Structure 1
Amino acid sequence: MDPKRAMLEGKNKILLFRKLSEANTEAAKLSFQTGHTFDFSRDADAIVTKDGTIRKLNELESEVTGIEAIQAKEDPVASMLLEAVFEGEKLELWEVTVDEDLKNEDGKYPAIYCQGYMTSWSSDNGAEDEATYSGDFAIELTPQFGYATLTDEQQEAVQYAFQDTISGSQPPEGVEG
């Protein structure tokens, strides 16, 4: 395998959001995201004993910070996230690694799933740039690792598939779409 292909690329890690209250009726939504950081941390209190210092581990804390995206006109994700900040509404968040080499036999991608709240929101509207928004997401409990399915619409938004030059055709055998 080519060493460059073996490296994970940040552009292949996407975030999808959904209101927890819409879990039975809506698919998760993605934005024109430009960056984010997934943080895991655990404080360790020092306890001094006669034999030396030992550590008492505290609970795991997680958050997704620096969520940054370009805002589209009538952007449903931007509206949902802004509303979630104002209303204190619980959201679901997935970080999905959209890398064909990592897909499992069921066609699903590696993912981290969590629930929590948007804790900050800001929008930047420079005169010469696209409107952007950013925010932070505080996670409740412990994120779960597994595999996620992307809908056809989500996959098309992430990357269009190869199409032949004639209408209505599928990619030739042996050519991945």
Structure 2
Amino acid sequence: MPVNDIQYLQGIDTLAYVRLLKNAAKERGQLIPYQTSLDFDPQRDTDTTQTKSGVVPTTASLETDLEVEFVHNISKVSDDLLTSLLDNEEVEVWIVYRKRRNSEGKYYAIYMRGTVSEDENENDPDDNATRDVTFTIKGDPQRGWLELPDDAKEEMDYVFQGLGQVTDSDATGGGTAFVEADAGKGNADGTASASK
């Protein structure tokens, strides 16, 4: 496949979701709000032994470093991260790639379990407060495909809203999102027009 045909991924489209494992039956995984950085670094140390017949490699168990930086905020997931550290509570973590989907419309994701091992807070007077959370991951990360509920999609990509009230019966406040078929449509007098 020519390099020009290979789709690339951007960091802005890679997001972390978290849930306390004990809450798996009660709530869905939550997006960590205002993420600024996500570092996922699985690694396996390899050593070699020199023998008379050549080099014999030895590999260690997989170790995974995971770190998420975000603007500090008031949210349940933000509090859950600190709970994991203070109470040694196990968390589930998903890394979701929102620009990589399969033929069923599911998103590519990496799933892990572990605990928060560090939660660094920076509170400079002339900047937003930030947190840098490091996870200790148990076992090997698992790859797969997942569905995102509609409200999770809206967390990642807000939807067009009208000026009206947002209610249970009108979630967009009377607004309708622009679609590709709308290109070139509309008239000053409000009558329908054909696209040109």
Which residue identity lines up with residue 115 of structure 1 in the other structure? R
Distance in 2 (CA, whole Å) between partners of 1:154 and 1:171 is 20
Distance in 2 (CA, whole Å) between partners of 1:87 and 1:174 is 53
Equivalent residues of 1:94, 1:111 under 8 A apart: yes
Deviation at 1:138, TM superposition (A): 1.5
Distance in 2 (CA, whole Å) between partners of 1:103 and 1:164 is 29
Residue 95 (str. 1) matches residue 102 (str. 2): no
Which of 150, 154, 159 is the equivalent residue of 1:161?
Answer: 159
Deviation at 1:155, TM superposition (A): 1.2
Structure with larger RCO (C-alpha < 8 A, sep 6+): 1
Number of the residue aligned with 1:149: 147
Equivalent residues of 2:160, 2:176 under 8 A apart: no
Distance in 1 (CA, whole Å) between partners of 2:160 and 2:9 is 22
Unaligned 5+ segments in structure 2 are 164-172, 183-196
Name the SS of the counterpart of 1:143 in structure 2.
Answer: strand
Which of 43, 46, 58 is the equivalent residue of 2:45?
Answer: 43
Name the SS of the counterpart of 1:80 in structure 2.
Answer: helix
Distance in 1 (CA, whole Å) between partners of 2:40 and 2:161 is 35
| Residues 112-163 of structure 1 deviation map (CA, whole Å, 9 limit, x = unaligned) | 0011111111111111111111111111111110012222222111112356
Distance in 1 (CA, whole Å) between partners of 2:161 and 2:105 is 20
Give the length in aligned residue pairs: 171
Which range moved further: 162-171 or 141-150? 162-171
State the 4+ residue runs in structure 1 displaced beyond 3 angstroms.
161-166, 168-175
Number of the residue aligned with 1:105: 103
Higher alpha-carbon Rg:
2
Number of the residue aligned with 2:121: 123
Distance in 1 (CA, whole Å) between partners of 2:181 and 2:117 is 46
Question: Percent of counterpart pairs with the same letter?
Answer: 31
Deviation at 1:48, TM superposition (A): 2.0
